[in-house]
């Protein structure tokens, strides 16, 4: 009898422990898992495998969400809940819903609030593979709203930008097979996942920047990652081979970022392998992946005025894909009084008395280009004119009237006249009118 009782107690203990709590102490509120302030809602959230940190694949038997004990949910209680696997970490757009065909309905009916919890128990468990990320989707079907002190009542915590996709409205129940456009937010539900057991050691950090497989990374980047529950510190390694530590060797970091500048400057046009682990009293996260990225290309041949690309045929079009690798050489181009600019990328042509239109269209949103046109020689430029009407990501266009036999130098650079800023990829078009 005692043996049976002991075994029963052990099973009860294991059952209690078979759950994973993710930021359940958060008290911020938001529109997840459902909206209580709109009649209808459909919301998808992505919980990365690293964040769940389960010790094995297993059956998810239910979910618990948290809210203030005083909150009312009388008119926001008709739920349909779905789970699914996804390789995605974030939503790429406001319509980037995970298709209904990739989701499994695990609950449909009326939920009940007990104290500060809404516990959703599944009729049939969901088999989580512990390989992919987990998507949690919930649809609220009641045609009215709850009035509370806050617009929304469910507790959420900050996470990656665009990790949750939200639709909420008052017109009709959402069809998950064809949901309308929503809005992406940077928070997720405080949640308990029942049926899975967490590793004792913390999970692997999710690296935010540089993104995995990123190209054209600058030479002294800031490495950032998502915080990990239970982590006391982190360790970062960086090398030129998979698992390598020849650049940074298990550097301990207190925080969620590490700036390579100014002590470490990476090589151009080089593949790097980055690993970040989390450390707690229970150990260090294991099995963390290498994130790989490639630095900016070599310095362009037309980086300096002396290397300006010769233009002889019109119309002329050239895409400067390696624009981000330009330097500011010896300083700023100040030939035009009170209208200087960065020393960017250079082109030249010989005038024939005709008018020419010059257009520089940036290929990246961060680049705010300016066009400078000069005559003379590289070490003694004479101002012809400049153009900077738009902002970051906007094209610039100017027209000049040439003098026959005069050589003109075109500089496409960042607009600042006293701060060295990076150029970006762009396309230049020169047209003879």
Q: What pLDDT does residue 304 have? A: 97
Same fold across 15-194 and 207-295? no
Concatenated DSSP letters of 48-78: -HHHH-BSS-EEEEEEEEEB-TT---TTS-E
Q: What pLDDT does residue 273 have? A: 98
Q: What pLDDT does residue 149 have? A: 65
Residue 271 pairs in a beta bridge with 294
Q: Which helix (H) or strand (E) holds 173?
A: none
Look-up of token digits 């990225």: 293
Q: What pLDDT does residue 150 have? A: 66
Mind listing the pLDDT tens digit of every residue in the chain (433 residues)? 444 444 444 444 444 469 999 999 999 999 999 998 888 999 999 999 999 999 999 999 999 999 988 888 887 889 999 999 999 999 999 999 999 999 999 999 999 999 999 999 998 999 999 999 999 999 998 887 767 666 889 999 999 999 999 999 888 889 999 999 999 999 999 999 999 999 999 999 999 999 999 999 999 999 999 999 999 999 999 999 999 999 999 999 999 999 998 889 999 999 999 999 999 999 999 999 999 999 999 999 999 999 999 999 999 999 999 999 999 998 999 999 889 999 999 999 999 999 999 999 999 999 999 999 999 999 999 999 999 999 999 999 999 999 999 999 999 999 999 999 999 999 999 999 9
Q: Tell the CATH superfamily of the 207-295 domain.
A: Immunoglobulins (2.60.40.10)
Looking at domain 305-432, which CATH architecture does it have? Sandwich (2.60)
Token pair of 217 as six digits: 């990374």
Token pair of 366 as six digits: 């961060």
Q: Supply the pTM of this predicted model.
A: 0.83
Q: Which of 278, 285, 231, 229 is nearest to 25 (CA)?
A: 229
Q: Which of 159, 163, 166, 154 is nearest to 86 (CA)?
A: 163
Token pair of 53 as six digits: 């940190």
- Taking the C-alpha atoms of residue 292 and residue 273, their distance in angstroms, rounded to an integer, is 5
Q: What pLDDT does residue 17 have? A: 61
- Taking the C-alpha atoms of residue 49 and residue 58, their distance in angstroms, rounded to an integer, is 13
- Taking the C-alpha atoms of residue 219 and residue 69, their distance in angstroms, rounded to an integer, is 51
Q: What pLDDT does residue 147 have? A: 72
Three-state DSSP class for residue 384: strand
Give the CATH number of domain 15-194. 2.60.120
The three-state DSSP-derived secondary structure of 34-48 is CCCCCCEEEEEEEEC
Domains of the chain by residue range:
15-194, 207-295, 305-432
- Taking the C-alpha atoms of residue 269 and residue 246, their distance in angstroms, rounded to an integer, is 17
N residues, the chain: 433
Concatenated DSSP letters of 188-240: EE-EEEET--B-SSPPPP-EEESPTTEEEE-SSPEEEE---TT-SEEEEEEES
Query: Quick check: 43 and 165 in contact, CB under 8 A?
Result: yes
């Amino acid at each position: 009898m005692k043996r049976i009782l002991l075994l029963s107690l052990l099973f009860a203990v294991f059952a209690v422990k078979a759950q994973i709590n993710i930021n359940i102490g958060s008290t911020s509120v938001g529109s997840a898992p459902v909206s209580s302030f709109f009649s209808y809602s459909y919301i998808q959230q992505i919980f990365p495998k690293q964040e769940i940190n389960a010790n094995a694949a297993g059956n998810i038997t239910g979910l618990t969400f948290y809210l203030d004990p005083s909150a009312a949910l009388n008119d926001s209680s008709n739920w349909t809940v779905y789970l699914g696997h996804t390789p995605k970490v974030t939503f790429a757009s406001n319509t980037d819903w995970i298709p209904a065909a990739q989701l499994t309905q695990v609950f449909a009916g009326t939920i009940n609030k007990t104290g500060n919890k809404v516990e959703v128990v599944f009729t049939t468990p969901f088999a989580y593979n512990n390989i992919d990320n987990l998507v949690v989707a919930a649809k609220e079907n009641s045609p009215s709203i709850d009035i509370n002190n806050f617009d929304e009542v469910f507790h959420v915590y900050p996470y990656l930008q665009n990790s949750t996709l939200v639709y909420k409205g008052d017109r009709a129940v959402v069809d998950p097979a064809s949901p309308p456009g929503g809005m992406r937010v940077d928070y997720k539900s405080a949640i308990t996942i029942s049926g899975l057991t967490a590793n004792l050691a913390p999970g692997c950090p999710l690296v935010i920047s540089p993104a995995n497989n990123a190209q054209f990374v600058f030479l002294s980047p800031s490495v950032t990652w998502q915080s990990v529950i239970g982590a006391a510190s982190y360790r970062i390694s960086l090398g030129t081979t998979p698992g390598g530590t020849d650049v940074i060797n298990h550097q301990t970091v207190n925080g969620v970022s590490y700036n390579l500048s100014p002590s470490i400057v990476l090589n151009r046009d080089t593949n790097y392998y980055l690993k970040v682990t989390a450390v707690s009293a229970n150990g260090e996260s294991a099995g963390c992946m290498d994130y790989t990225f490639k630095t900016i290309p070599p310095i362009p041949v037309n980086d300096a005025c002396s290397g300006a690309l010769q233009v002889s045929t019109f119309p002329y079009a050239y895409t400067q894909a390696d624009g981000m690798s330009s330097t500011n050489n010896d300083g700023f181009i100040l030939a035009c009084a009170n209208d200087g600019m960065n020393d960017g990328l250079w082109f030249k042509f010989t005038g024939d008395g005709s008018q020419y239109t010059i257009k520089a269209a940036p290929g990246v949103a961060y680049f705010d280009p300016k066009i400078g046109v000069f005559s003379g020689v590289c070490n003694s430029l004479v101002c012809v004119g400049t153009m900077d009407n738009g902002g970051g990501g906007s094209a610039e266009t100017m027209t000049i009237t040439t003098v026959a036999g005069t050589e003109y130098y075109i500089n496409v650079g960042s607009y600042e006249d006293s701060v060295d800023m990076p150029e970006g990829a762009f396309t230049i078009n020169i047209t003879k009118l």
